[in-house]
Amino acid sequence: MKTICFYFQIHQPYRLKRYRFFNIGRDHYYYDDYSNEDIMQQIAARSFVPANRMLLDLIRSSKGKFRVAISVSGVALDQMEVYAPEVIDGLKELSKTGAVEFLAETYSHSLASLADSVEFQNQVQMQTQKVKLLFDQKPTVLRNTEMIFSDDIAEMAYNMGYSKMISEGAKLILSWRSPNYVYTSEVQPNMKLLLRNSQFSDDISLRFSDCTWKEYPLTADKYISWIDATSPQEEVFNIFMNYETFGNLQPSHSGIFEFMRALPQFAFDRGISFATPSEIMESHEPVGTVSVPNTISWSDEERDLSRWLGNKLQKSAFKTLYEISERVRLTNDRRLKMDWQYLQSSDHFYYMSTKHFYDGSMHNKFSPYQSPYDAFNNYMNVLSDFIDRVKAQYPDSVDNEELNSLLTTIHNQEREIKKLQAELKKVLTGNEEKLVEKRQRKRN
């Protein structure tokens, strides 16, 4: 039986305010609060809130047979808590249905997996804790930022305790094979993989309202018929897309909400079901392995990292940022740690991309800057001030070897403190029990 796996990504970065060279050392607040609030509230009203309502209606009307997965970055959740709490309320309602699975990802929607394995692990832990706190779910499936994946990342994720991931079904790793199966990592056979079907995903997220597309208009019946017409051996159809597809990337007047509301019933009529990523990977056996020696993503035709690390500006900023990661981990300064998270968002590097800037394409639509060079200068000014603040606590005179030694000492002390606290709790509990017994003997 054919099964559709819907996964939706939710992320919004903290955009930086105009930060000039002369602000360095004087102004330590970096964010454009007006833009962040305005953009979040607009997207919430156009997309997130009605999309939450739509999914909830579909789940209830199908008695839980319609099932989806959602991944939300920590920085997006931070903004929603302040600017659009109604979105979180809606996501909580979806979680309570038992038909929505929340996935793990990096807290900052960062590129940490490419530079710092410790930071990568810390961010995934932070995001999963936030998901547990808000939605009472412990994610078991990992989705890295922008579906970035490689053999090395598979190893890192497995060592972090994950045995299930989702990524892009790029032709350069699948060749003639179909993405419509469960696979495993060649370097880590215990790591199961679900790979995005780019054609079926992009038909909705990119082409739905394109009147020049030969298949326009796309109807739910037509879409399901395409899936039904595939080979009987192809059982899993991974439709992964941005949640903003509903109402923002594809405006409501395009009929995107009506399309989605009609789709489940057409699927059920043809015997096609819906399942979450963890359900599919638990119920389907892998058909083969995939080798990914070179890192892939779900961006652009190349499915590579060139959108974020394709030019010298991006690489320079990226290198400068992660050179101070060990020092940041030493600090207990909450403000520094918060800035560290927000400055890692991959969006800052995306804004520096020159890949398609001059043709006026998608880059201009999402970037708050007039040019990639403005984005680079603004970010580096902010980063310079941030680095000065970090070095004020942990100066360059302390080399990396000393930092590693200090980190090890701190971690050992933390473990010892936790051990002593557990022993103390055990002793106190024992004393309380003895005191209760003594009081009962006196009464008797």
Please give the Cα distance from 238 to 3 (Å, whole number): 9
315 in any annotated domain: no
Please give the pLDDT value at position 360: 46
User: For residue 165, is it within any domain?
Assistant: yes
Residue 305 lies in a domain: no
With respect to residue 84, please indicate whether it lies within any of the assigned structural domains: yes
Neighbours of 28 (CB within 10 A): 15
CA distance 182 to 64: 23
Residue burial 420-439, b: 16+ Cβ < 10 Å; e: rest = eeeeeeeeeeeeeeeeeeee
Q: How far apart are the first and last CA of the chain?
A: 69
What stretches of 293-346 show up as alpha helix (H) in DSSP?
A: 306-309, 312-322, 325-330, 334-343
- The answer to whether residue 248 is domain-embedded is yes
Helix (H) or strand (E) holding 72: strand 68-72
* 280 strand-pairing partners: none
Q: Note down pLDDT in tens along the chain; length 444 residues.
A: 899 999 999 999 999 999 999 999 999 999 999 999 999 999 999 999 999 999 999 999 999 999 999 999 999 999 999 999 999 999 999 999 999 999 999 999 999 999 999 999 999 999 999 999 999 999 999 999 999 999 999 999 999 999 999 999 999 999 999 999 999 999 999 999 999 999 999 999 999 999 999 999 999 999 999 999 999 999 999 999 999 999 999 999 999 999 999 999 999 999 999 999 999 999 999 999 999 999 999 998 899 999 999 999 999 999 999 999 999 998 889 999 999 999 999 999 999 999 876 544 544 568 999 999 999 999 999 999 999 999 998 877 665 566 566 556 655 666 667 777 777 777 777 766 667 676 777 666
Segments in 206-294 forming alpha helices (H): 220-228, 256-269, 277-283
Catalytic residue check, 146 = yes
What is the domain range of residue 143? 3-290
pLDDT at 221: 98
How distant, in Å, are the alpha carbons of 52, 59, 311, 315, 323 from that of 381? 38, 47, 19, 16, 16
Domain annotation covers residue 333: no
Report pLDDT for 207: 97
Is residue 336 domain-resident? no
- Specify the pTM: 0.88
Side-chain half-sphere CA neighbours of 252 within 13 A:
10
SS3 percent helix, strand, coil of the chain, rounded to 5, is 55, 10, 35
Is residue 230 domain-resident? yes
Spatial separation of the C-alpha atoms in residues 156 and 323, rounded to whole Å: 20
Give the residues across from 273 on adjacent strands.
Answer: 3
The alpha carbon of residue 304 and the mean position of all alpha carbons in its chain are separated, in whole angstroms, by: 17
Number of domains in the chain: 1
pLDDT of residue 437: 72
Check residue 427 and give its pLDDT. 72
Point out the catalytic residue in the list 146, 168, 244, 326: 146
Residue 77 has what pLDDT? 98
Element (H, E) at 88: helix 85-96
How many of the other CB atoms lie within 10 Å of CB of 162? 18
Say what the pLDDT of residue 359 is.
Answer: 47
**No. of helices (H) and no. of strands (E), the chain:** 19, 11
3-class SS of residue 160? coil
Which residues touch 18 (CB under 8 Å, ≥6 apart)?
Answer: 32, 378
Q: What CATH number is given to the structural domain containing 254?
A: 3.20.110.20
Of 327, 243, 296, 205, whose CA–CA distance to 44 is shortest?
243
pLDDT of residue 365: 66
Q: How far is CA 396 from CA 252, 290, 332, 391, 399, in A?
A: 53, 43, 18, 7, 6
Give the tokens for residue 376.
């680079």
Q: Which tokens belong to 332?
A: 């207990």
What whole-number distance in Å separates Cα of residue 12 and Cα of residue 345?
A: 9
Q: Looking at residue 414, what is its pLDDT? A: 63
Cα 128 to Cα 107: distance, rounded to the nearest angstrom: 8
- Could you tell me the two tokens for 263? 């789709």
Q: At what angle do helices 33-43 and 74-83 cross, to 10 degrees?
A: 90
Q: Cα dihedral angle (39, 41, 42, 47), rounded to 10 degrees?
A: 110
| φ, ψ at 46 (rounded to 5°) | -80, -35
Nearest to 319 by CA among 376, 269, 374, 359: 376
Q: Give the rounded distance of the alpha carbon of 161 from its chain centre.
A: 17
Q: In what order do the strands lie in the sheet with 192-196?
A: 164-168, 192-196, 182-185, 289-290
Instruction: List all residues 6 or more positions away from 96 whose beta carbon is below 8 Å from its beta carbon.
Output: none
